[in-house]
Amino acid sequence: MIKLDRKDFLTLKDFTKQEIEDLIDYSIELKEQKSAGELKQKLKNKNIALLFEKSSTRTRCAFVTAAFNEGANPEFLGKNDIQFGKKETTKDTARVLGRMFDGIGFRGFKHETVETLAEYSGVPVWNGLTEKFHPTQILADFMTVKENFGKIAGTKFAYVGDGRNNMANSLMIGAAKVGMDFRIIAPESLFPSQELVSLCEQYATQSGASITLTENIEQGVKGADVIYTDVWASMGEEAKIPERIKLLKPYKITREMLALTGNPDVIFMHCLPSFHNLETEVSKKYSEICEVEEEVFESENSKVFDEAENRLWTIEAVMVATS
Ligand code: CP
Ligand code: NVA
């Protein structure tokens, strides 16, 4: 079991390489303990609020199942369930929730909201996605990398697609902290902000990471151990779908792109949900929105459901380590 000397988990900027690695190792331990029937309930009698403005399958279910695994009581509060943001300020909601709950999981639009909850609730606050960052997802992603390659530092990780969304930002921060060879392959108009790139370059000088931004797919994916993508328009950006399709169509993950890595053992990863065929409402409306072809998504190289399961173990590790 590990304990961190801070209560909140808002962005990986706040954590050291060692802390990130310890959280991942602890997540692997929890996964093993559960399957051996040896999991101890370390959050018994704790009450956990899950305040979600945006929809979710994996993050919500990971918080709920992790809470039950550890003996805590989760309460889901959707955006229409409470006064939050309608009749009450975030600061007041934070102070009320902090009097009744022992921890708050938040998913929403503005990163400032999760910061306000952390500032005023007095209890641990865990970021389950904002428009800027999705840090618990990165722990699950790096755990999956470790399960596949036995290490995280030094792996060659190529993120292809919308290079300035919450996933690209958070992967870049995490990769720079732990020492990966990290590449963002995207049209230049979708590169991450220069401010964040400069910060990550500073982290990289400490960890030995390298950060590359390129529009060139062939150069960007060469030698990669991991090809990672996300949807082309994130939640809240639906109006941008037609524009993003035009920009990102050449960056769709295909078997040819996997072959360009020159690495037969390359793995495919995606935070999910994914538009990989025409079966969802959105992909029926926009038939070209597909960021990965079905043959890659369903291939042996695809680790997306291991990654999804690992959301549970990593969120459980974060809750225990910060409570
Ligand atoms: N990856 C992820 O955060 O999935 P959900 O949107 O289903 O929570
Ligand atoms: N970038 C995506 C991630 C979903 C898990 C979004 O914010 O919608």
Question: What is the spatial distance between Cα 39 and Cα 112, in angstroms, rounded to a whole number?
Answer: 35
Please identify, by atom number, the ligand 2 atom nearest to the C-alpha of residue 58: 5
User: At the topology level of CATH, where does 156-224+226-262+267-300 sit?
Assistant: Rossmann fold (3.40.50)
Q: What is the pTM of this model?
A: 0.97
Please identify, by atom number, the ligand 1 atom nearest to the C-alpha of residue 235: 6
- Is 99 exposed, middle or buried (CB count within 10 Å of its CB: 0-12, 13-18, 19+)? exposed
Is 230 among the residues known to form the active site?
Answer: yes
Instruction: Report the pLDDT value the prediction gives residue 173, as an integer from 0 to 100.
Output: 98
Segments making up each domain of the chain, as ranges: 12-133+310-322, 156-224+226-262+267-300
| Active-site residue identified among 8, 58, 60, 137 | 137
Note the CATH number of domain 12-133+310-322.
3.40.50.1370
Whole-angstrom CA distances from 229 to 96, 158, 168 are 38, 9, 9
Angle at 32 between CA 268 and CA 143, to 5 degrees: 30
How does residue 1 score in pLDDT terms, banded at 50, 70 and 90? Answer: confident
How does residue 154 score in pLDDT terms, banded at 50, 70 and 90? Answer: very high
Instruction: Report the pLDDT value the prediction gives residue 147, as an integer from 0 to 100.
Output: 98
Q: Could you tell me if the CB of 123 is within 6 A of ligand 2?
A: no
pLDDT in tens, 76-122: 999 889 999 889 999 999 999 999 999 999 999 999 999 999 999 99
Q: Could you tell me if the CB of 233 is within 6 A of ligand 2?
A: no
Identify whether the C-beta of residue 1 lies closer than 8 Å to the C-beta of residue 27: no
Residue with CA nearest ligand 2 atom 2: 234
| Identical fold between 12-133+310-322 and 156-224+226-262+267-300 | yes
Q: Per-residue pLDDT for 5 more than 90?
A: no
Instruction: Report the pLDDT value the prediction gives residue 19, as an integer from 0 to 100.
Output: 97
| Active-site residue identified among 58, 60, 107, 276 | 107
Q: Per-residue pLDDT for 10 more than 90?
A: yes
The residues pairing with 104 across neighbouring beta strands, listed in sequence order, are: 49, 125
How does residue 14 score in pLDDT terms, banded at 50, 70 and 90? Answer: very high
Is 107 among the residues known to form the active site?
Answer: yes
